[in-house]
Amino acid sequence: MGTAPKTPPPKAPDPPPSIKVGDTVLDRYRVVEQIASGGHSVVFRGQDERLSRPVCIKVFSGLGGKSGVGRTSYEHFVQEAFALSRLTHPNTLRIYDFGHLGPKDAEGMPLQICEYMNGGTLSNVVREKGKQSVQETALVVSAMCAALAEAHGLGIVHRDIKPQNILFGEVGGKKLPKLADFGIAKWSVAADAEDSGQRAEDTAIVAGQKLAMYSPSWAAPEQLAGQPVSPATDIYSLAVVAVYMLSGKAIFADEDVYAGYKKRRHADDLIRDALKPNGVSPAVIQLLTRALAFDPKKRISKVDELSSELATAIEPATEEFAKQTAESLTQDMPLPLPPTPVLHTPTAPNNAITPPSGERIVEQRSAPPQQQQHNQQHNQQHNQQHNQ
């Protein structure tokens, strides 16, 4: 099971100190350029001056925040660092360092130093290249399943699986997908009971209302309803991502949470309408329909099961693709020329052949013309000698 931080997170700071290109943070990481920004953080590309390697510098940028959204976001940012420090799978983003800007009494703005991914996000890939093949989708889904298997084994539910949180790194000319952003991860109930009060809150209270911590277009129905989450919650979101990859479109794009919740009751129709026109096999559609079951108890419950069943489901599609490719190549090739007649010389005048019935048949063949002429001359000489 996962273990919580043993000390409470520090008090959320007031507006963050400025950080700009050229600054050095934590005495070794030089800020090179800003590459992204979100609701509660700013991301920079940096350089580790000691080890001469590129890094990602993620700085919390919550507004004030001694209560409400700012406080909750701050706690989740700190919790993410603890979560990443416990995860070692190669398909999970690695964290190198953690600290605070400003005073070293932990009252400054927190920041994370992570590995730098130079291949963009899955969202970028689909936006630029469109829908992905079944094989490419399976590679990403299987990698995410492997990363989540470790997290789930430690009692951590990610809760925010989406294309923007799947990053790519270039390794040997190939793209390696990695799961990032455990900022709103949910730690196990058992661990929460063990370390009561040490976890980040699941919701923030603002103006008397609860603000949920999830991404509506990718969330499972139980998240929209404020119900307990489980590993099946991550499986649901990952299946939504798979449909997005295969179709190039998000099937749940409603800003209204209530409308999105109702739409998820008919996910099977949405999956079929999105994937069937794109030539996705019935086996893959059926598998993703199970992964997107409205009731978590009827859903595929383990990421290992999703990964293995997806590999099995795409095998017939792969064979059919290979068959179609071979037929296409054959059709595009020019017709062969008529065969050139070739004079065959048998190895023996009589050749024995055994048919399937087992009956032995002896095929009688004529000698070649040269041999026939020689035989005629020999017979004439023999007859002349005999007549004399």
Higher-pLDDT residue of 374, 290? 290
Q: Look at residue 260 and give its three-state secondary structure.
A: helix
In whole angstroms, what is the distance from residue 294 CA to residue 275 CA?
19
Mean pLDDT for the chain overall: 78
Residue 98 in this model has a pLDDT that exceeds 90: yes
CATH superfamily of the domain spanning 1-116: Phosphorylase Kinase; domain 1 (3.30.200.20)
In whole angstroms, what is the distance from residue 254 CA to residue 269 CA?
16
- φ and ψ of 10, to 5 deg: -65, 165
- pLDDT score of 335: 42
- φ and ψ of 203, to 5 deg: -135, 160
The 10s digit of each residue's pLDDT in 325-346 is 344 334 443 444 444 444 444 4
Q: In the structure, what pLDDT confidence band is assigned to residue 119 with cuts at 50, 70 and 90?
A: very high
In whole angstroms, what is the distance from residue 157 CA to residue 266 CA?
25
DSSP sequence for 318-357: HHHHHHHHHHHHHHHSPPPPPPPP-----SSSEEEE--TT
Q: Look at residue 99 and give its three-state secondary structure.
A: strand
Residues forming a β-bridge with 95: 114
> Cα dist. 136→64, 133, 141, 283, 322 in Å?
42, 5, 9, 17, 16
Domain boundaries, the chain: 1-116, 117-187+199-322
Task: Please tell me the least confidently modeled range out of 8-22, 53-67, 271-285, 346-360.
Answer: 346-360
pTM: 0.73
Q: Per CATH, which fold does 117-187+199-322 belong to?
A: Transferase(Phosphotransferase); domain 1 (1.10.510)
Higher-pLDDT residue of 369, 292? 292
- pLDDT score of 361: 34
Residue 227 in this model has a pLDDT that exceeds 50: yes
